[in-house]
Amino acid sequence: MGPLSSETPALPSGAGNDRQLQTKQGANATASHSLWVDVDAHQEKKCVVVMGSGDFGMALTGRLVQANYQVVVGSRNPQKTRARASGIGATVMQHEEALQQGEVVVMAVPFTHLASLPLQHLAGKIVIDVSNRNPATSKSLGSLSQAEELQALVPAAKVVKAFNVLSAYALTRGNMGSKEVPVCGDDEGARRQVCEIARDLRFTPLDMGRLSNALEVEAIPLSFFTEWRGGFFTSIVVFAFYFVLLLFQWSVCSHLQHPNKDWSSLNRLASSTVSIACGDTALTLLALCYLPGVLAAYLQLWRGTKYSQFPGWLDRWLKSRKHLGLLMLLNALLHVIMKLAGSPLSGRSDWRGNCFVAAGVFAFVLASILGLTSLPSVSGNMTWREFSFVQSVLGWFTLLLATLHLVFSGWDMLFKPDFTCYLPSHSQFVMVLPLLTFALKLPLLVPCVDSMLQSIRQGYDRTPSRTNNN
């Protein structure tokens, strides 16, 4: 199952746990150095100032403290924030006072309120901008990133964009493992230092170069299933095709040929037709996972090199295989469950019985998705928008389906008293792509062709210009 193989790096062992070297002395202590005792007395604590005691500020503070940083939180109201901050081992001060404590400052205050902070104290400091754009207004903004706007506000500071791809929730749970954290800024030394902090927090920093790249970094959490679009579109079109075909052949066409026949076959619409269409879609998507690899192999054989780019359409197709594979799994799962759940579970074969099964099965599948996306290794690979879409929108939809499932099963009790043609078969259509994929694959298995392909993939280059250059 090549296309489905995960490219996610393994989580470092003990991430977030091996910094428990400190011993808490007392929650009421005011100076940060009196809060902790280092087991390693030679290790000097680095100080980070976090401006803002909101969700993100406190989550990052907790993670920094775990990583043995001395953290000073800058707040408008230190009295109110003190108990919470000292509970996680940080000190709270007024903004001005906090800014005197360290050379690295995290701006965890909503971007629109940054101007109300004493920015004059930021001169010469490394200022980490963690802000994200508001999805509702981001399209109307110009081409300047928020980090660049902050840099314009404080020209004497070294602004670095970082950590905006993380969520407060995940930071608090400490389950982000080795997630990549893009870092960009104009000052190379500042960038390096922020990368080091990211590494200390058990993230993988990704040096994105100058601050002009911040717009790209700010777009990451806002991306909304961008890489899935091709797969979704393909899956929907394929499913719609098979569904309409089955509907026509099984219901409309047979009725036209036998006018006396009743329309009871339409009762099978919700389970049988969808179930078969899901199965057909799964097989087609599976073929679509393997076909581009075969086409790429022919192109490499023809060109005699792997060092020239694939055409755009093939490149996009190759990259979408993981998504196509997962959508294939989804369709297959739907097909299997609907087949298994069919009439034995519904207990009745009319439209209500079928809707009951369909709603239950879809609810089950969506619930499985919700469960899967709550696993750290899965949620760690999703943007915040994707995660909240799945957990929120799909969560409600699952609830609706589960409720409908119940309504269909108890229909009689709820609504008393008496609410009691000339085309190839769909199987032939479905076979086309798998057969084509196999037919193209077989010649590639011939030993001499296979060994040529392997040589090319190991670096052999038949292209004259390249050979001459070498």
Tell me: does residue 54 bind ligand NAP (CB under 6 A).
yes
Interface residue with ligand NAP among 4, 29, 153, 168 (CB under 6 A) is 168
- The answer to the question of residue 81 lying near ligand NAP (CB under 6 A) is yes
Chosen residue from 130, 176, 246, 330 binding ligand NAP by CB under 6 A: 130
How many residues of this chain interact with ligand NAP, rule: CB under 6 A? 24
Q: Determine which residue in the list 2, 110, 189, 209 makes contact with ligand NAP, applying CB under 6 A.
A: 110
- In the three-class reduction of DSSP (H, G, I as helix; E, B as strand; rest coil), residue 371 is classed as helix
Question: According to the binding rule CB under 6 A, does residue 242 interact with ligand NAP?
Answer: no
Return the residue of 23, 25, 34, 77 that touches ligand NAP, per CB under 6 A.
77
Closest CA to 295 of 163, 402, 441, 172: 441
**Nearer to ligand NAP by C-beta: 128 or 274?**
128
Q: Least separation, in Å, of the C-beta of 75 and ligand NAP?
A: 3
Q: Choose, by CB under 6 A, the member of 20, 116, 226, 392 that binds ligand NAP.
A: 116
Among residues 154 and 166, whose Cβ is nearest to ligand NAP? 166
Residue 151 makes contact with ligand NAP by CB under 6 A: no
Q: Which position among 53, 61, 145, 271 is part of the footprint of ligand NAP (CB under 6 A)?
A: 53
The answer to whether the beta carbons of residues 354 and 268 sit under 8 Å apart is yes
**Closest of 113, 127, 11, 4 to residue 53, by C-alpha:** 113
Q: Is 226 exposed, middle or buried (0-12, 13-18, 19+ CB in 10 A)?
A: exposed
3-state DSSP assignment of residue 49: strand
What is the distance between the alpha carbons of residues 234 and 292, in angstroms, rounded to a whole number? 14
Touching ligand NAP, residues 258-277 (CB under 6 A): none
Structure tokens given for 133:
């754009």
Q: Which stretch binds ligand NAP (CB under 6 A): 37-45, 103-111, 395-403, 428-436?
A: 103-111
Task: In angstroms, give the least distance from the CB of 164 to ligand NAP.
Answer: 5
Q: In the bound complex, what is the minimum distance in angstroms from residue 155's beta carbon to ligand NAP?
A: 20
Query: Does the protein bind ligand NAP through residue 61 (CB under 6 A)?
Result: no
Ranges assigned E (strand) in 314-453: none
Interface residue with ligand NAP among 72, 109, 190, 282 (CB under 6 A) is 109
Angle formed by the axes of helices 321-346 and 274-303, to 10°?
160
76 lies in the site for ligand NAP, by CB under 6 A: yes
Go through the chain and tell me how many residues it has.
Answer: 470
Asked if residue 113 binds ligand NAP (CB under 6 A), the reply is yes
Alpha-carbon gap, residue 357 to 353, rounded angstroms: 6
Q: For residues 133 and 205, give the distance between their C-alpha atoms in angstroms, rounded to a whole number.
A: 21
- State the Cα–Cα distance between residues 61 and 54, nearest whole angstrom: 10
- CA 162 vs. chain centroid, Å, equals 18
117 with 138: CB under 8 angstroms? no
94 binds ligand NAP (CB under 6 A): no
Which residues of the chain form contacts with ligand NAP (CB under 6 A)? 52-57, 75-77, 81, 108-111, 113, 116-117, 130-132, 164, 166-168
